[in-house]
Chain A
Amino acid sequence: MNAFLHRAILVCYAVTAFAFTANAQTPFKRPPPTPADWAALAKLPDLTGVWEIPMGGPGGGFFPPGRPSLTPEYAAKAQALAAHAGEDTSSANCVPPGMPMIMGEPYPMEFLLTPGQVTIVIEAFSMVRHIYTDGRPMPSDPDPTYFGTSIGHWDGDTLVVESVGFSSHTELAMRVPHSDKMRILEKFRLTDPDTMSIETTVIDPEALTAPYISTRTLKRHRSWTIAEYVCEDNNRNFVDQNGKAGINLTPPGTKTGKP
């Protein structure tokens, strides 16, 4: 009896292990970079360095002109959201915006090019985007995240990036929700030696009647470095669960009598 039970448990383990292996996607393994891979980077347009959207400058600034054209369902959702809008968003509690809004912050971003990857270090909220250019396929059902999963390739002088899989926390545009079908296409290219254009196309068959296209223009700052941004360091702003905003004006060092 004991031997039978033992064997049954082993069979169970084996079946479970097989099912798990069969369901799991084989993780993409990037081959080690060769000297040729590093040399190839030098032939690409130089997107490296620290970039920022000029304040009030050309290219639409932080909030590009034009509004997304919404389906009736999502127009109603956006309207309901606006009607019940809190005084503030969770960014007051230091929760960062997701894609595509994070790319419109009034803080610089540093672009790093390494074999098989473009990395964008975003100063606002100290965030990082990873864009894989190593030929890996887009995962079929990635976990939803703030920035999604990004796969890129070079089309001539343009870095073309597709991103999918976004958290429901992220907004398609200011106070406009998206569906789980949202895809974002970005085209990064130099328009002069220190100017980069980022054309962003949001596609969402449930939320949008047409692709929502906007373009931002960034300037390179050769003398800048990315600074630390620990939002929780001294955050005196907050928004509560009812969307009510507040601010703590108690001077530092004031004894409250509380532990």
Chain B
Amino acid sequence: MLAAALFVAIAAAAGSAAAHHGFALFDTGSRKTIAGTVKQFEWTNPHTWVWLDVPNDKGGVDTWGFEGMSPNFLGRRGWSRTSLKPGDKITVTYIPMKDGSKGGEVMSVKLPTGEELVMFGGSPTDER
């Protein structure tokens, strides 16, 4: 039952991503997590973008870009344009890029408070 529900959620997630673009660039079978500091949260269509400053092994900082669902979709599922603020220390779970470049598709974000915001599978707030 849980497996079936999970399958439906993933199928639906793939369907929604197809709303604007396909998943050819993403390694959809893979999930990774990365910790960093929010540089900017773009609350824009057709996708939100989390720009995350992540320390690299050269003593500097790289800015990673993570694409998320649109503000239209997320705004009805518990997110807002102030969900992530510059300076927030967060952990992002994401689908990595196939080519290994510094970015991916956000699946969930763990906030400094420990609260987790999910990209797909969250029910609309008016139904909770």
Contacts and interface: CB of A to CB of B under 8 A. Distances in A.
Interface stretch (B8-16, B29-37, B108-116): B8-16
Main secondary structure of the interface of B (DSSP, over half): mixed
Contacts of B72: 107, 123, 227, 229
Task: Classify the secondary structure of A's interface with B.
Answer: loop
Interface of A: 52, 55-56, 61-63, 87-89, 91-92, 94, 105-107, 123-124, 221-224, 227-231, 233-237, 239, 245-247, 249-253
B85 interface: no
Contacts of B73: 106-107
Given A56-B11, A107-B73, A233 B20 contact: no
A55 B12 contact: yes
Given A234-B42, A234-B45, A249-B103, A91 B25 contact: no
Contacts of B9: 55-56
Interface of B: 5, 8-9, 11-12, 15-16, 18-22, 24-25, 39-40, 42, 44-47, 49, 51, 63, 65, 67, 70-73, 75-76, 97, 101-103, 120-121, 124, 126
Contacts of A223: 126
Contacts of B15: 61-63, 106
Nearest to A106: B16
B39 A224 contact: no
Nearest to A229: B45
A94 B20 CA distance: 7
B39 A251 contact: yes
A251 B63 contact: yes
B106 to A, nearest CB: 13
Nearest to A97: B19
Contacts of A253: 40
Contacts of A56: 5, 8-9, 11-12, 121
Given A56-B8, A249-B102, A230 B45 contact: yes
Nearest to B17: A106
A52 B103 CA distance: 30
B63 to A, nearest CB: 4
Contact of B24 (A52, A88, A107): A88
